[in-house]
Amino acid sequence: MALLCRDGRCPEWIDISVEAVGEGVTVFRLTCCGRYTADPGRMHYTRHGLGPFGVKSPVLPRGFREGERFSLKAV
């Protein structure tokens, strides 16, 4: 959290997605807004009970079809 917070404020939104997986480890990608706030009402996902955090899908491979499995980058 120390990397995300500035003077008691955090980004208005922080999108989280899985970047890679490995034996016993998962790497997450955080994409953050450049606007910082201490007001929970300005945090984009507060209405969903997640504060600034939004959980997103991993990047889908070219040619992806709904319902088909795909591999993630290995660590």
Q: CA 21 to CA 55: how far, in whole Å?
A: 16
- Range with the lowest mean pLDDT among 21-25, 44-48, 59-63? 59-63
Q: Considering the chain, what percentage of its residues have pLDDT values greater than 70?
A: 100
In this prediction, residues 2-13 reach a mean pLDDT of 92
Inform me whether the pLDDT recorded for 1 exceeds 80: no
Report pLDDT for 58. Answer: 85
Q: CA 34 to CA 36: how far, in whole Å?
A: 6
Helix (H, G, I), strand (E, B) or coil at 40: helix
pLDDT in tens, 35-53: 999 999 999 999 889 999 9
Report pLDDT for 3. Answer: 85
Q: CA 46 to CA 53: how far, in whole Å?
A: 8
